[in-house]
Amino acid sequence: MASSPLFSMSTMKRDSFVMKTITSNKEFKFNVSNSFDKLPVASPTLLLTAENSLKWGQNESLLRNRMQCRAVEVKNMPGYPMGKKFELDDVIEAQQFDRETLNAIFEVAKEMENIKKNSPGSQILKDTIRTVEGYSDIIVMRHFESGAAKRAAATAGIPIINAGDGPGQHPTQALLDVYTIEREIGKLDGIRVGLVGDLANGRTVRSLAYLLAEYQDVKIYFVSPDVVKMKDDIKKYLTRRGVEWEESGDLMEVASKCDVVYQTRIQRERFGERIDLYEEARGKYIVDENVLKVMQNHAVVMHPLPRLDEITVDVDADPRAAYFRQAKNGLYIRMALLKLLLVGW
């Protein structure tokens, strides 16, 4: 049988979920500390797609024929009547979220955090399980082509979550990033953020820039090697939204001004055969103890992870190193999105 790396299936179990890649038949088990038991859904099945998948158009009938997701009454959120359906059918790009929706999602994420920490299990759907027996799958899609998730959403009859589409966007990462900034700094208006590293190919920084534009009096600094500068479409968008931005080659100066230093790695695969450009870019901007010395006491270092050598390991012990807390916040944000897309507010 011809191999097809397009789809992987992930079935949630009680203490873990198993992701089986169809082509290799390898299983990867992830222990999530019973977190999925606490989600307001019953044993959901996720359909994940591989980043190195086939061109879009194959197996699309599988997506088209999936069942529609239904919302049920669960809990009253401020500003959202009980039982109101989540206004987004899919999570594709950061521009989908306005400030009001972001705040509401973060409240749900905090609820998920409390469930994770303080409860043996969520009772959100107690006596309502029959109502959601007919819910369908969510497709969590990572693809090497920019725009692939949007094309999938146009075909599928079920929610699509974009888990990264090449150099395009990574909206769920941006959601957890903004959530982390609010938790760490205590505000989102009036902040100064330095985006560092590969800004041309880094989908996380693109999505983050879009979300930061929803807040007032934000200034963004772009610090990158010349070969991977932030693209003009983001700069034009920020200017149109009245967001101040500045390009700089001086990481130390930017770090001394910022509330958040958001570091990203330089990825070799983004340069193709131009290894000379990769070598020119890598290692130019490194967050180390010298950068920490000029940072303000309340400021934090963030990173979407995994890292290479762009943040030295001695930074980990500093309380301003927020990237591990940032990664943990990803659990709560994604729990919240599953709740909202499958059940509603």
> Same structural domain for residues 271 and 180?
yes
Report pLDDT for 120. 59
In which element (H, E) is residue 172 found? helix 171-185
Residue 67 inside a domain? The answer is no
Model pLDDT, residue 341: 85
268 and 191 fall within a common domain: yes
Residue 325 and residue 305 in one domain: yes
Kindly state whether residues 161 and 261 are assigned to the same domain. Answer: no
Instruction: Dig out the tokens for 120 from the structure.
Output: 């043996």
Are 161 and 176 contained in the same domain?
Answer: no
Residue 53 lies in a domain: no
Between CA 327 and CA 61 the distance in angstroms is: 35
Residue 14 included in any domain: no
Q: What is the CATH number of the domain that holds 125?
A: 3.40.50.1370
Strand partners, 302: 262
Same domain as 266, residue 134: no
Q: What range does the domain containing 210 cover? A: 171-329
* In a shared domain, residues 146 and 184: no
**Strand ranges in 144-281 using DSSP code E only, listed in sequence order:** 160-165, 192-196, 219-223, 244-248, 260-263
Number of domains in the chain: 2
Let me know whether 194 and 324 are in one domain: yes
- Do 110 and 234 lie in a common domain? no
Domain presence at residue 238? yes
Could you report the per-residue pLDDT of 167-207, keeping only the tens digit for each? 777 888 999 999 999 999 999 999 999 999 999 888 889 99
Cα 67 to Cα 45, 64, 157, 158, distances in angstroms = 12, 9, 7, 7
Residues 244 and 292 in one domain: yes
pLDDT digits (tens, 9 = 90+) for 302-314: 999 899 889 999 9
Half-sphere exposure of 121 (CA within 13 A, CB side): 10
Do residue 198 and residue 154 come from a single domain? no
313 and 202 within one domain:
yes
Residue-by-residue pLDDT tens, the chain, 345 positions: 433 333 333 333 333 333 333 233 333 333 333 333 334 433 344 444 444 443 333 343 333 333 233 332 334 445 554 556 777 777 888 888 888 888 888 888 888 887 766 665 555 544 733 333 334 567 787 888 888 888 877 877 778 888 887 777 788 899 999 999 999 999 999 999 999 999 988 888 999 999 999 999 999 999 999 889 999 999 999 999 999 999 999 999 999 999 999 999 888 877 777 888 888 888 889 999 999 999 999 999 999 989 988 999 999 999 999 999 999 999 999 988 888 888 877
Helices 99-118, 323-342: crossing angle, 10 deg rounding:
100
DSSP type of residue 219: E
Report yes or no on 335 lying in a domain.
Answer: no
Cβ(246)–Cβ(221) below 8 Å: yes
* Domain-ending residue, one of 124, 150, 165: 165
